[in-house]
Amino acid sequence: MVTIYDVARHAGVSAATVSRVLNGHTQVDPALAERVTSSVAELGYRRNAVARNLRRSRTTLWAVIISDVENPFFTAMVRGVEDIALTAGYSVVLCNSDENPEKESNYIAAALTEQMAGVIISPSSNRVDDVKLLLDAGCPVVVIDRELQGPRTDTVLVDNEHGAELATTHLVEQGYRRIACIGGPRWLSTATSRYEGYRRALSTAGLPLDPALVRYADFRERGGFEAMASLLDDGAEPDALFAANNLMTVGALECLVQRERTIPSDIAVVGFDSIPWADLIRPTLTTVAQPAYEVGRQAGQLLTRRLAKPDADVTRIVLPTELQVRASSIRQA
């Protein structure tokens, strides 16, 4: 039997675009819509009216779409969502977009097709069309971790800017002056907020913002490794590093070990996000801790409320971060 995903592959579009065309949405590029309708006809795709009628009432499933299942932050966050869901009589379906907007789009299409009761999503990009598709279909959405501009959705964030400012200020207070920053993708709100916190701390301390000390990566371990290698190879000579997420911190540490740089005597390190083994490595690692479980718990509560009261005012929650100082950032006498 031909599926919506077969049509998407044949037309060279996302499953969400196919869903929009089939549901009569007008905000689809006419050329794309024509490709979809041609593929539907060529493949002989038929929508299952019986199944649609059976699914007019929503399921008791929540889709939780996260951007990186390997990141410990999301593991703890999903646990918080699940605890609330089970209490409210729902089950959780975990979807890993792998920082890939097309995979995310396919999961959103699946959530619509399967009539999920609601969706909690950490967006992999700043693209809003797919989230609008959920909202237009009457599917409640809670955005977590990364903020989207445009759609009116309940949102749970952490204070990224303040956390990054705390981290950078701590390094300044330790006497470091050439503080490098490995930031995340510049189109993500978390990355821009953390960079702004870094910049603001330098400005408050009267230190220049040196572009030679800034690198951008992909919130992945390999990206952190390559960014750290670039800082060392280009002669930036940082005496401290602020890495804007946990996986990039791991990558940067791997690079420093490979280059036989000693922490913190050669370079101090502070990472953003808790790392489960931060107290186990030597030296122990200074981090900005996020309340990951609480992010998930609050998101679950917001989705539960939205399901009970669809017309309630939109809520935006910002949770605090905490600097946990350990040995990796303490200047040695």
Report the CATH number at residue 42: 1.10.260.40
Q: 174 near 331, Cβ under 8 Å? A: yes
46 neighbors 74 (Cβ within 8 angstroms)? no
221 and 148 share one domain: no
Residues 11 and 38 in one domain: yes
When pLDDT is averaged across residues 268-284 and rounded to a whole number, the result is: 90
Do 146 and 240 share a domain, yes or no?
no
Question: Count of CB atoms within 10 A of residue 18's CB?
Answer: 30
Domain match, 42 and 98 both: no
Write down the pLDDT at residue 231.
98
| Domain co-membership, 215 together with 305 | no
Do the beta carbons of residue 242 and residue 270 sit within 8 Å? yes
> For 63-111, what is each residue's pLDDT tens digit?
999 999 999 999 999 999 999 999 999 999 999 999 999 999 999 999 9
280 exposed, middle or buried (CB, 10 Å; 0-12, 13-18, 19+)? exposed
Question: Domain check: are 282 and 189 in the same one?
Answer: yes
Q: What is the CATH number of the domain that holds 79?
A: 3.40.50.2300
The domain tally of the chain equals 3
Task: Convert the pLDDT of each residue in 211-237 to its tens digit.
Answer: 999 999 999 999 999 999 999 999 999
Sequence-distant (6+) residues with CB within 8 A of 118 are 62, 63, 139, 140, 141, 142, 303, 306, 307
Q: Quick one: 39 and 76 in the same domain?
A: no
In terms of residue numbers, what domain contains 41? 4-47
Element (H, E) at 154: strand 154-158
Percent of the chain at pLDDT exceeding 90: 75
293-314: burial string, b at 16+ Cβ within 10 Å, e else: bbbbbbbbbbbbbbeeeeeeee
The answer to the question of residue 180 being in a domain is: yes
**Residue 286 forms beta bridges with which residues?**
270
Q: Is the pLDDT of residue 50 over 60?
A: no
Total-model pTM: 0.82
Considering the domain architecture, whether residues 215 and 284 belong to the same structural domain is answered as yes
Does some domain include residue 333? no
Instruction: Say yes or no: 75 and 13 in one domain.
Output: no
